Amino acid sequence: MDFSKQWSVFVQTFVTNEGYKNVLLGLKNTAYIALFGFLIGIAIGTVIALVKVSGKQSKTAKVISRIGDIYVGFFRGTPIIVQLLLIYYVLFPLMGVQVDKLAVAIITFGLNSGAYVSEIMRSGIQSVDVGQLEAGRSLGMSYTSAMFRIVIPQAIKNSLPSLGNELIALVKDTSVAGFIAVFDLTQAFKLIGSSSYAYMIPYIVLALFYLVIVLALTLIIKLIERRLRKSERH
C-alpha cells in the first residue's frame, strides 16, 4: 500500500470511524500518568533529599537514609518496563490487592521519577547558601520551617531546568505503559493502525504528537525560567 492510500485509510479511521476519540482518551491517560507521576516523584524526591542533606546522625535518620539509598539504587538501576511488570504482576498480587492499571502506571512512574528527583533536589538544596538557613533559624524558625519556607523554594528554582527535563523524560517514558495494557497515546495510535494493518501513518502522527508535547513543555519551562530570572532582578 503506497503512502497516499495509507493516508486515506488513516484519515478515514481517524475521522470517519471516530478514531480521534481513542486518541483523546489515550492523550488524557498519558497526561494523567506524566502529571501525577511527576507530582509523586517531587514529593518522594524532596523527602529523600531532605534526609540526605540534613546531616542528622540519629538512628532513625540513618535507617531512612539507607532505605532511600536502596530505593534510589533500585529505581535508577532497573528499566521502567521491568518496574511496571514487577509492581503490576508481582507486588500487588503478593499483597492481595487489586489496583486499576492506570493507577499502577501512575504509582510506578511516580516511584521511578522520585529516584531521579531526589538527586536533583539534593543538588538544588546544596546550591542554596547555608547562611540563609541559619538566618531563618536566627529569626526563630524551626529547622523544618526554615527548610520549607526558605531553602526548598530556592532549591526548586535552581533545579527547574533539571526538573523540566525529568518531566519531559517522564512524558516520553509513558509510551511503555501499554506493557500492562494501559490505554495511552501510543496504544491509541497502535489501535488505529491495527484496524487496517497500515501502521506507517499512525506511527508518524504519533511521533509528531510526542514532539509537539515535548516542544510545548520545553517552551513553558523556558518561559517560567525567564520570569523567575526577571523577578530576581527586581
Name the maximum alpha-carbon separation found in the chain.
74
Structural domain contains residue 216: no
Structural domain contains residue 40: yes
- The answer to whether residue 234 scores a pLDDT higher than 60 is no
- SS3 call for 174: helix
Q: pLDDT tens across 175-191, in order?
A: 999 999 999 999 999 99
pLDDT score for 33: 97
Domain tally, the chain: 1
Position 31, amino acid:
A
Q: Give the residue from 116, 130, 112, 165 showing the smallest Cα distance to 53.
A: 130
Structural domain contains residue 98: yes
pLDDT score for 198: 85
Q: What is the CA radius of gyration of the chain?
A: 22
Domain that holds residue 159: 22-185
Burial track 17-47 (b if 16+ CB lie within 10 A, e otherwise): eebeebbeebbebbebbbebbbebbbebbbe
Q: pLDDT tens across 161-179, in order?
A: 999 999 999 999 999 999 9
> pTM for this structure?
0.90
Please report, for the domain that includes residue 71, its CATH number: 1.10.3720.10
Please give the grid coordinates belonging to residue 83.
518496574
Structural domain contains residue 205: no
Average pLDDT over residues 5-26: 89
Structural domain contains residue 222: no
Structural domain contains residue 100: yes
Q: How many CB atoms lie within 10 A of CB 82?
A: 10
pLDDT score for 57: 58
Compute the distance between CA of residue 153 and CA of residue 157 in angstroms, rounded to an integer: 6
Q: How far is CA 218 from CA 166, 168, 211, 213, in A?
A: 11, 8, 10, 9
Compute the distance between CA of residue 45 and CA of residue 42 in angstroms, rounded to an integer: 5
Contact 185, 175 (CB under 8 A): yes
Q: How many CB atoms lie within 10 A of CB 231?
A: 9
Average pLDDT of every residue of the chain: 90
Structural domain contains residue 118: yes
Q: pLDDT tens across 49-106, in order?
A: 888 887 665 677 788 888 989 999 999 999 999 999 999 999 999 999 999 999 999 9
Least confident among 76-90, 147-161, 201-215:
147-161
Structural domain contains residue 8: no
